[in-house]
Structure 1
Amino acid sequence: MSDPVTQRPSRIVVDLSAVGDNLRAIRAHVGVPVMGIVKANAYGHGLVPVARHLEACGVDRLGVAFVEEGIALRRAGIRLPILVLGGIFGPQVADYLRHELEITVSSLDKLRQVESVAEALGQRARVHLKIDTGMERIGVHSYSCAGFIEAAAASRWCDIVGVYSHLACADDPGSPMTDRQVERFAEACAHFTRIGAPMPLRHLANSGGVLHAPGTWLDLVRPGIILYGVLPDPASQATLALRPALSLVSRVVYFKVVRAGGTVSYGATWTAATDTRIATIPVGYGDGYPRALSSRGEVLLREHRRPIAGRVCMDQFMVDLGPDGTAYNEDEVVLVGRQDGQAIRVEDIARQAGTIPYEILTGLNERIPRAYVGG
């Protein structure tokens, strides 16, 4: 008997060789070690398969958002250093230590919290100090971090592995904010030299920094979305060759003729101007495909770009083939990816949906089966 999950006509295909190629391009571009960011299910590509492939490709470290993601990687056998980038939730500190995860320490109180748990367990904690240079999310302000750094350097139970900040505007190469953040971060790091403490790994560059700001590369870079071949922002410049790793494909499951004046989908917001042919695709916002693409998105079907007709439903949507278009049940439909020399990129979908590529990728949920090639 066939597995109904593997028989679903919609699936995400992840080309792991593209992820590996992107890692090599990034490393050649920056010339420093790389922390591959695999948070949010590796930006929708699959946490464990992507992390395993990056480890096999020689990535230096991995970064995740939450301790749960780090534990999942440890349970999958990943032995690389893993930094949890998010803020600490006190009851979970012991879990960081038990699973040998590196901790973001973002305040003096958090430092004391980590020290207390580490002492109770008799296990040293590996920490990265978070400096806020303008993001105003987590971290000690750069202008008042001297005491924080001194306390961390004097800690008996914490080993400082790194010190870092996060860039707020690096996706836009024209923003002056990045230069200001670089200056603030340099001033903060100078405290290590002033107190005679060893300089830990300094890391600042996210994907935008890798693309546009060599002054942010320092000792380590933290690429996220560009590892998967997607530019972070319409203002971003493709300063290195990237290959998109993710495709989203489906199949036609229904075909009909809608007469002129007929309406399609919820709300009757789309009306056929003439007799036209409509195909139904079994993907919807319940899979993370944006409802904002209603009557504005496109798919690739039989060598043509076909527009979405009416509202995207929870589990399916319809496309307009026009009065002369043809489709058959089980024809392949490309929602993201390439077909016969044409392409729909994640960046295209984000623009049509009025959002950012990050939201498109991370919104594609586990209801869509994932298949891996090239790994």
Structure 2
Amino acid sequence: MTTLPDAAVRADEVGQRPTRIVVDLDALSHNLHALRIHAGVPVMGIVKANAYGHGLVPVARHLQAQGAEQLGVAFLEEGVALRRAGITLPILVMGGIFGPQAAQLIAEDLEITVSSIDKLRQVEAAAQALGRQATIHLKIDTGMERIGVHSYHAGPFIEAAVASRWCRVKGVYSHLACADDPASPMTRQQLGRFLEACAHFERIGAPMPLRHLANSGGLLHFPETHLDMVRPGIALYGVLPDPAAQPTVALRPVMSLVSQVVYFKVVPAGHPVSYGATWAPKADTRVVTVPIGYGDGFPRALSSRGEVLIRGRRHPIVGRICMDQFMVDIGPQGTAYNEDAVVLIGRQGDQAIGCEAVAQAAGTIPYEILVGLNGRIPREYVGGAQEPGSR
């Protein structure tokens, strides 16, 4: 008898879970090319946070195959995972780094965000110890107050980086705080601060590195921020970043979240449904159970607020969402059978539920919906050039 180690049973050994995320690689291709045409400059595809829930390695492989010029991640571990998967594109690690990470960043051929003179010195020391030059991007803080040297103190920082023997300054960048809202005046203020900081390269006679500033909001709303490269994140996946955002580019949603009916029953009038007895029908009604819950990252905040599609019709989620399941009221005359398809995000017939609508119902932002969907949900990739083992 063979004893399996913990967590050694794979999904394909026990059957595919009915709940799954479907990732449309053709839609991803469309968005990449549409955003590049709109911006008129190269694209750094942002694949941090498991490619916004879409799957880090499969998405990165597809973007590489589709000609993305660069990838961006948040952490060292994400960059290492991509290198282990055979991704050869330039990869910028955008988060703040710890000094001990510098050597591995250089060894893995990852581009490093340098956000202060102290960080520069740490990277220099690691590069010298390895006998290998580091590729860096300088981070300028123009208003986020997160990481980076303040734009009005950038001169000495830039001079130190340009003078470094062990660091090659490939890029200089900042991050826009309010670009999701096209009416916000802050974006143009940040652009002005950034350009003034970048002008220091010219003042000291140094070559201008690659300037990148525009996130999804900047790309969609502020063409003056496109500069030398753009960094689409959520827009790359066909989702608008904010209710105020304008669909200035025709994007296609890449993700669908689907499940199936697992149970059907008639609930009598006045009988409460789910934990806390927070909802009960006023008349006899038909209720179905769907096998996904907050344990998968589907927000509990959608309890008695969200909707799903079954047989092409919208139906409300009722009662509190459980860890692994939730219930849907299909009405006194509603029809549904076990294994009927349920769409939580996506299209069914002529009806659609967008990630933006789910976020609004949950009282949050689309980013949190996408990245919150965790690894318990299998990903299925359709369209595009399929990679072996990409699921």
Bin for the TM-score computed over the shorter chain: over 0.9
1:292-331 to 2 correspondences below 5 Å: 292-331=301-340
1:343 paired to 2:347: no
1:3 Cα deviation from its structure 2 partner: 2.9
Question: C-alpha separation between the residues in 2 aligned to 1:194 and 1:2?
Answer: 59
Pick the aligned partner of 1:356 from 347, 362, 365.
365
In structure 1, what is the Cα distance between the partners aligned to 2:330 and 2:350?
Answer: 19
CA distance in 2, matches of 1:227, 1:6: 31
Greater CA drift, 87-96 or 166-175: 87-96
Aligned-partner SS, 2:172: strand
Aligned match of 1:69: 78
How does 1:225-236 map onto structure 2 within 5 Å? Answer: 225-236=234-245
Q: RMSD of the alignment, in Å?
A: 1.0
Residue 168 in structure 1 maps to residue 177 in structure 2: yes
Q: Are 1:288 and 2:297 an aligned pair? A: yes
Residues 365 and 95 of structure 1: CA distance in aligned 2, closer, same or farther (over 3 Å)? same
Q: Which residue matches 2:30?
A: 21
State percent identity of aligned pairs.
74
Partner residue in 2 for 1:132:
141
Query: Do the aligned residues in 2 keep the contact of 1:133 with 1:165 (CA within 8 Å)?
Result: yes
Distance 1:189 1:158 in 2: 18
* Residue of structure 2 equivalent to 1:253: 262
SS of aligned partner of 1:145: helix
2:81 is aligned with 1:83: no
Secondary structure in 2 aligned to 1:271? coil
- 1:194-217 CA distance string (max 9 Å, x none): 000110000000000000001100
- Cα deviation, residue 5, structure 1: 5.4
Contact 1:5–1:369 (CA<8 Å) still a contact in 2?
A: no
DSSP-derived class of the 2:12 partner: coil
Does 2:124 correspond to 1:115?
yes
2:389 corresponds to: none
**Which ranges of structure 1 fall in alignment gaps of 5 or more residues?**
none
Aligned to 2:381: 372
Deviations 1:289-319 (A, max 9, x none): 0000000100000121000010000000000
DSSP-derived class of the 1:3 partner: helix
Do 1:133 and 1:181's aligned partners in 2 also have CA atoms closer than 8 Å?
Answer: yes
Q: Pick closer, same or farther for the CA change 1:6–1:97 going to 2, 3 Å.
A: farther
User: In the aligned structure 1, how far is the partner of 2:161 from the partner of 2:111?
Assistant: 14
What amino acid is aligned across from residue 330 of structure 2 in structure 1?
Answer: L
- Counterpart in the other structure of 2:205: 196
Q: Distance in 2 between matches of 1:261 and 1:229?
A: 42
Structure-1 separation of matches of 2:255 and 2:98: 33
Residue in 2 that maps onto 1:242: 251
Q: 2: CA distance between counterparts of 1:208 and 1:216?
A: 10
TM-score by length of 2: 0.95
Q: Is the CA contact 1:260–1:275 (under 8 Å) kept in the aligned structure 2?
A: yes
Q: Please tell me whether the aligned partners of residues 134 and 167 of structure 2 are also in contact (alpha carbons under 8 angstroms).
A: yes
Q: Does 1:179 align with 2:188?
A: yes
Distance in structure 1 (CA, Å) of the matches to 2:239 and 2:173 = 24
Q: Which secondary structure state, in structure 2, belongs to the residue aligned with residue 171 of structure 1?
A: coil
Q: Deviations over 1:125-164 (max 9, x none)?
A: 0000000000000000000110000000000100000000
Determine if the alignment matches structure 1 residue 221 to structure 2 residue 241: no
SS of 2:327's equivalent? strand
Cα distance in structure 2, aligned partners of 1:6 and 1:185 = 53
2-side partners of 1:4 and 1:331: how far apart?
23
Q: 1:34 — aligned with what?
A: 43
Taking structure 1 as the reference length, the TM-score comes to 0.99
Match of 1:157 among 166, 171, 174: 166
Aligned partners of 1:165 and 1:203 also within 8 Å: yes
Distance 1:166 1:6 in 2: 44
**Mapped partners of 1:328, 1:250: distance in 2:** 13
How many positions carry a matched residue from both structures? 375
Instruction: Indicate the SS of the match to 1:361.
Output: helix
Find the counterpart in structure 2 of residue 44 from structure 1: 53
SS in 1 for 2:37: helix
Asked if 2 retains the 8 angstrom alpha-carbon contact of 1:6 and 1:369, the reply is no
> Offset at 1:6?
4.4
SS at match of 1:264: coil
